[in-house]
Amino acid sequence: MARAVRTFNGTALTDWGDYNNHLNEGYYGVIFADASDGLLTMLGFDEDYRENVGGTFYTVEAHIRFEAEIAIGERLVVDTVMLGADPKRLHYWHELRVEGSDERRATQEGLMLHVNIDPVKVTAMSDEVAAAASSMASGHGDIRPGVNFGRPIRAVEASS
């Protein structure tokens, strides 16, 4: 069975705390953005790619679910599953945990588009990066993300 890839390893920094001495919600986004960068690096996307291919990736949709608090100073890891990939899109699932624990603290499901830098428009990624993404998605095909995968935010109806 395939395994998710480790895309982030770091610490909940003191400056990232809220008034309850827990990780502020905005820093979950920072951690997941760093994990997305880690994923792209694994696929062969780097500064050389940006300069020579003229392409980059834009996150166009991301959904974070907060499942448990994170205390300042805790060591954190993110493991990532590539849910799907085609020449222009990457669909991924991040799971944030405290290092050494199986308890998920947060998840992010997201979609990135490959974009030409100048002019800005959606284009196909290089054959090498596309092949790496496709291979990872195929390898992760038997991994099932958490129960909240693909779920929208529930609408709240106005009360009268």
Each residue of 21-62: pLDDT tens digit? 899 999 999 999 999 999 999 999 999 999 999 999 999 999
**Secondary structure (3-state) at 61:** strand
C-alpha span between 69 and 143 (Å, rounded): 25
**The dihedral sign for the CA sequence 84, 86, 89, 90:** positive
Q: What angle do CA 67, 70, 72 make, to 5 degrees?
A: 165
Please state the φ and ψ torsions of residue 44, each to the nearest 5 degrees: 100, 10
pLDDT band for 148, please (50, 70, 90 cuts): confident
**Predicted model pTM:** 0.91
Give the mean model confidence (pLDDT) for residues 143-147: 74
For the residues of 116-139, what is the DSSP string, one character each? ETTTTEE-PPPHHHHHHHHHHHHH
The CATH architecture that domain 5-138 belongs to is Roll (3.10)
User: For residue 73, is it left (φ>0), alpha (ψ between -120 and 50) or beta?
Assistant: left
